[in-house]
């Protein structure tokens, strides 16, 4: 069985209350009612030629024209959780900004004026329309991923882009990569442990579509004052682009030989399905405008992947329903449960659950089909199942971890799907799947993702991302949620059928 590498320790660190920002922009927090400044980033003082402490309590109107902001507040307050883009002119300089409307205050993120580069609407539209068109024409997840990394690399100018897909344990495997700099490692097919992007970091991607770190060695900028006077706490920067970066992640990037990075979320059914990871070996900045374009394209990618996955699941569901109907028809035609289940043409029950073998224990008899373990093992397994008092469908893709006697039978019984017929009488349908030996190419040793100093006060990420190979034994291919649902439907039918038969 594969080990779960998600980190409870890393997943508990409060990344959203880091209370510093990156240096490529300014941050201002204002009272929603009075529009007076209650917090400000230290670096804006140099730009405005004023001491940050002198700005606290003053009206935002003393710095910029707030009519546009007031209009936006009227339109979006309590109606949108998204950040709203706008433009300000401050001291003769044009600043791109994002406004976040919170219950008690407004957060303004402003891009430094020397980083603003305007493009024509036509130029932006042409780029976005082309990328959208090619992504929406893709028919498979692999094709979407290849197109996405290629086009986003061209659009953003990063040295390399990877599509990173999460599994059920939140490990991420690189399924597409495009890079033009040999200083970046080839991670295609490599898997990174869940602790690399811990729980609270994954949750932040549901609030903020992208994360940009243009300069790994940036000087963190403090907020003044440290505590927000309206909440008497550190301010929550969850959905702010400028939010500072945890030291352990900066060290992680250094170990990857990366100076700049960006990541964009891919969403499926409201959850984080994957990430697009961008890397550059020198500092690399993307302005707010281009980041917003990437945010839009990430939505297109998410929608296309969702469409493809929904179609795949619809096809699987339709196939399972067809098998279900064939079994029911056969059972009624034969007027016998066992004959209908096992003697149907084309091994319907095995095909339905992609099983190499089936054992049906019913009315004191063992009816077998395909490759199954020997009878004494089956008898012991029935006693074990009865002891667990299983009433609904039970499944496992690593049976030996919970039923030790299954260890010698991995070749035929690494995975099981059990459909109870009558647990009191020890009557079950047991579907078996064989062992599928997996080779995982980890991006570095996953057992060394977190390394503490001797005093246990500081910790560090792993220093090497050299491939670390792991073989997974005694595990079958996993049981799909639709297969489990189909098994429950079949269990319900069998219960109703056997109950009616007992009445006659």
10 Å CB burial of residue 117 (0-12, 13-18, 19+) is exposed
Q: Domains in the chain and their CATH numbers? A: 1-16+117-319 (3.30.450.40), 25-111 (3.30.450.20), 335-437+474-503 (3.30.450.270)
pLDDT at 14 over 80: no
* Higher-scoring residue by pLDDT: 11, 83: 83
Asked whether the predicted pLDDT for residue 134 surpasses 60, the reply is: yes
> Exposed (0-12), middle (13-18) or buried (19+): which is 483, by Cβ within 10 Å?
buried
Nearest to 2 by CA among 353, 479, 406, 477: 477
Q: At 372, is the secondary structure helix, strand, or coil?
A: coil
Instruction: Please give the average per-residue pLDDT across 141-170, as a whole number.
Output: 96
| pLDDT one-digit tens code per residue, 485-494 | 999 999 999 9
Q: 13-17, 184-188, 434-438, 445-449 — which is least confidently predicted? A: 13-17
Judged against a pLDDT cut of 50, whether residue 12 lies above it is answered with no
d(Cα 480, Cα 1) in Å, to the nearest integer? 17
Q: Which of 48-62, 113-127, 242-256 is predicted least confidently?
A: 113-127
393-420 mean pLDDT: 95
Higher pLDDT among residues 13 and 130, named by residue? 130
* Of 390 and 382, the one with more pLDDT: 382
State the maximum Cα–Cα separation within the chain, in Å, rounded to a whole number: 94
Q: 208: closest CA among 291, 287, 86?
A: 291
In the predicted model, is pLDDT for residue 468 greater than 80? yes
pLDDT of the residue at 456: 62
Taking only the tens place, the pLDDT of each residue in 257-303 is: 999 999 999 999 999 999 999 999 999 999 888 898 999 999 999 99
Distance (Å) of CA 65 to CA 60, 97, 448: 8, 13, 52
Report CA-CA distances (Å) from 228 to 15, 19, 382. 17, 10, 62
Q: Three-state SS for 225?
A: coil
pLDDT at 364 over 50: yes
Predicted local distance difference test score (pLDDT) of residue 457: 60
* pLDDT on residue 112: 87
Task: Report the distance separating Cα 37 and Cα 28, nearest Å.
Answer: 7
For range 248-265, the mean pLDDT: 94
Say which residues have a Cβ less than 8 Å from residue 465's Cβ, sequence separation at least 6.
Answer: 185, 187, 255, 256, 443, 444
Q: What is the pLDDT of residue 11?
A: 43
In this structure, what token pair is assigned to residue 370?
Answer: 């395909």
Full-model pTM? 0.88
Strands, sheet with 357-362, edge to edge from the N-terminal-most edge strand: 365-370, 357-362, 427-433, 415-422, 394-396
Q: What pLDDT is attached to residue 223?
A: 94
């Amino acid at each position: 069985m594969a080990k779960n590498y998600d980190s409870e320790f890393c997943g508990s660190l409060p990344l959203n209350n880091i209370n510093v920002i990156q240096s490529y922009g300014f941050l201002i927090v204002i009272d929603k009612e009075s529009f007076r400044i209650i917090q400000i980033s230290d670096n804006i003082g140099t730009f405005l030629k004023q001491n940050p402490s002198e700005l606290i309590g003053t009206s935002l109107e003393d710095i910029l024209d707030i009519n546009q902001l007031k209009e936006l507040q009227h339109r979006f307050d309590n109606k949108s959780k998204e950040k709203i883009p706008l433009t300000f002119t401050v001291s003769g300089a044009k600043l791109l900004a994002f406004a976040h409307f919170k219950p008690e205050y407004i957060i303004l993120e402003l891009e430094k004026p020397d980083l603003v580069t305007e493009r024509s609407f036509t130029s932006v539209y042409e780029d976005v329309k082309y990328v959208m068109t090619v992504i929406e024409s893709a028919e498979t997840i692999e094709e979407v991923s290849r197109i996405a990394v290629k086009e986003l690399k061209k659009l953003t100018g990063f040295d390399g882009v990877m599509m990173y897909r999460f599994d059920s344990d939140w490990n991420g495997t690189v399924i597409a990569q495009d890079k033009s700099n040999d200083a970046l490692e080839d991670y295609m097919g490599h898997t990174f442990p869940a602790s690399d992007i811990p729980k609270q970091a994954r949750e932040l991607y549901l609030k903020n579509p992208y994360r940009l770190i243009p300069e790994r060695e940036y000087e963190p900028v403090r907020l003044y004052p440290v505590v927000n006077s309206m909440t008497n706490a550190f301010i929550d920067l969850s959905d702010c682009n400028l939010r500072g970066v945890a030291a352990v992640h900066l060290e992680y990037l250094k170990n990857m030989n990366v100076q700049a990075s960006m990541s964009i979320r891919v969403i499926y059914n409201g959850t984080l399905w994957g990430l697009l990871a961008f890397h550059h070996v020198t500092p690399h900045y993307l302005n707010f405008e281009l980041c917003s374009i990437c945010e839009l394209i990430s939505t297109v990618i998410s929608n296309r992947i969702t469409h493809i996955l929904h179609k795949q699941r619809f096809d699987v569901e339709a196939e399972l329903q067809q098998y279900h109907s064939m079994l029911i028809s056969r059972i009624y035609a034969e007027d016998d449960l066992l004959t209908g289940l096992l003697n149907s043409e084309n091994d319907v029950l095995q095909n339905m659950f992609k099983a190499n073998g089936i054992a049906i224990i019913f009315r004191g008899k063992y009816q077998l089909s395909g490759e199954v373990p020997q009878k004494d093992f089956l008898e012991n397994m029935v006693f074990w199942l009865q002891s667990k008092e299983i009433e609904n469908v039970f499944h496992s893709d690593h049976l030996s971890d919970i039923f030790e006697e299954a260890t010698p039978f991995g070749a035929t019984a690494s995975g099981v799907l059990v459909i109870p017929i009558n647990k009191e009488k020890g009557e079950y349908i047991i579907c078996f799947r064989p062992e599928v030996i997996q080779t995982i190419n980890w991006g570095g040793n996953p057992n060394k993702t977190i390394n503490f100093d001797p005093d246990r006060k500081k910790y560090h990420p792993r220093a090497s991302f050299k491939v670390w190979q792991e073989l997974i034994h005694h595990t079958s291919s996993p049981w799909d949620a639709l297969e489990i649902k189909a098994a429950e439907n079949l269990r319900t039918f069998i219960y109703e059928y056997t109950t009616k038969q007992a009445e006659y």
